[in-house]
Structure 1
Amino acid sequence: MENGDEEIYNVGSVDTVSVTEIAEVVSDELGLDPQFEYTGGERGWEGDVPRMRLSIEKLKSTG
């Protein structure tokens, strides 16, 4: 943005994160202690993405 660049970039990290990890962070920040229940087995439901990692190579190329 400082360069006047109107490109679109994925903002992320080189790590992956699970939905459970995200839910735990949100719960901690809200002061909650929920019990998580899962359906669909290890993989989840059809089309589910159990771990997500966006490509940040374009962003990294800007320095």
Structure 2
Amino acid sequence: MKLYDLYINEKKPSIGLYVAKDGKLPDLADKDDWVFSGTAAQDLLPPDVIRGVDVNGHAFRNMD
């Protein structure tokens, strides 16, 4: 089963960013604002997050 690392934006905690386990964060202008928040298994995430990571290497998610 695939695993995904979650990063939360400190300035906007309602936004999460998923990447493949041990993957790199995308080239973001505000990279220092993202803090590792844990790892989730594929079956715990919405399908659109999985597709986003597979296609783009990352996916954003509303955490509210």
- Report the TM-score when normalising by structure 2: 0.20
Higher strand share: 2
Q: Which structure has the greater CA radius of gyration?
A: 1
